Structure 1
Amino acid sequence: MGIQSNLRSLAIALVVTSSLFAVAGCHSGSTADSSASVLTDTKLVDQNGNSVELSSLKGKPLVVDFIYTSCPGPCLMETAKFANVALRLGSDLGSKVTLVSISVDPEHDGPKQLLNYSRQQGADEKGWYFLTGGPADIDQALAGFKLSREVEPDGSVGHLVNMMLIGPDGRLVREYNGEIVKAQDIVDDVKKTLNNG
């Protein structure tokens, strides 16, 4: 009985440990092995009211995050991190690399709200899209990234702290935990992607 109990405990510990490693690997900066494009044909709208089809952004590396303008904390931190990435990319932003911030609260974030947010955060940069659309369009876009929104009964929105580097072919290159990744690490990975592409 004691040996069985110990074996069961050991088996549970191994499952928990391997699950933790899998989660940590997935979010802290894992290299992707995706053969399909994550950029759907979904049409969204940018902060200037222009229609943008996600798949039309292929051809350059993209760094994508997921925000909403009424977010009390994590989104501001992620946007500040993206602003740091933009600063480090310099003239490569727009010409060689695109930043994309997709709202996960399309019910409240229209182009006007996204434009105001981008200006308040010092993020109104050429080559940086803030995208929104109808709720179904946002859900379809997120599904391409294998993500989904969480909307609570009171209308509040759950945070998505994922950041992703997408290659010029639209495939996922790397996924990051936006709360812990350093801006320079993203820039280094972008430069590697540019050199490989």
Structure 2
Amino acid sequence: MIDIRNKYYIRVLAIVSLAVMLTLPACGNREALGDYPAANANNCLPDVSLIDQHGAAVSLASLKGKPVLIDFIYTSCASTCPLLTAKMAAVAHKLGPALGADVTIVSISLDPEHDTPAALADYAKSHDADARGWIFLTGPPAKIDQVLALFNLRRTRESNGSITHSIAAFLLGPDGHQIRQYNALDVSPEAVADDINRAGNKG
């Protein structure tokens, strides 16, 4: 004779087990790792000239021809920006000699009112980010805001002088259009490096 209570417990156990399985991240789910499809089709490398950490003018359009990994930071940021730069530095180490030769990393200042080229150069040196092929850019605030708008981003200065901003990073293809976007604090350096290698092979 079948015990009805046992059948009930078995059914409950099966339901609980299914619920647990559904809440676990799927193996290979890139979005669970902070790696997402591109969000817009804008040309994110327009003919806009900014100033690098060495004081030289750099047109964003001149960076086309190979993948570009781009993020937004500012030098007086003491919270998320050092973490973002540390993640980009880990990606740079994964790329090795390909950085500069096959891909460019670009970090654009969110505080152009204070981030001079010298300040960006000091920031790069103190955050293991002064590698060949990694460019830090500043420029007139209106141009920075113009570039941010292409990524559907904005910067907001708080009363204490800090800047509220996104923690996103973006991988652009050789044509300047987005391929992937990242939660830069969550994504693994390996995932970004793999995306860059695929983008380079397509280019």
TM (norm. structure 1) is: 0.83
- Equivalence for 2:186: 180
- Equivalence for 1:147: 153
- Alignment partner for residue 60 of structure 2, among 54, 61, 64? 54
Which moved further from structure 2: 140-149 or 108-117? 140-149
Q: In the aligned structure 2, how far is the partner of 1:33 from the partner of 1:78?
A: 20
Cα offset, 1:34, TM superposition:
4.1
List alignment gaps of at least 5 residues for structure 1.
1-24
- Is residue 75 from structure 1 mapped to residue 97 from structure 2 by the alignment? no
The answer to whether the 8 Å contact 2:154/2:165 transfers is: no
Instruction: From the CA coordinates, give the structure whose radius of gyration is larger.
Output: 2
- Equivalence for 1:102: 108
- Equivalence for 2:72: 66
Q: In the aligned structure 1, how far is the partner of 2:195 from the partner of 2:157?
A: 32
Q: Sequence identity, in percent? A: 48
Return structure 1 stretches of 4+ with deviation > 4 angstroms.
Answer: none
Q: In the aligned structure 1, how far is the partner of 2:57 from the partner of 2:149?
A: 19
Secondary structure at the aligned position of 2:69 is classed as strand
The answer to whether the 8 Å contact 1:39/1:145 transfers is: no
Which whole-Å deviations, capped at 9, do the CAs of 1:61-103 have from their partners, x for residues lacking one?
Answer: 0000110101112110111111111111111000100000011
- How many residues are treated as equivalent by the alignment? 174
CA RMSD of aligned residues (A): 1.9
Secondary structure at the aligned position of 1:102 is classed as strand
List alignment gaps of at least 5 residues for structure 2.
1-30
- Equivalence for 2:16: none
TM (norm. structure 2) is: 0.81
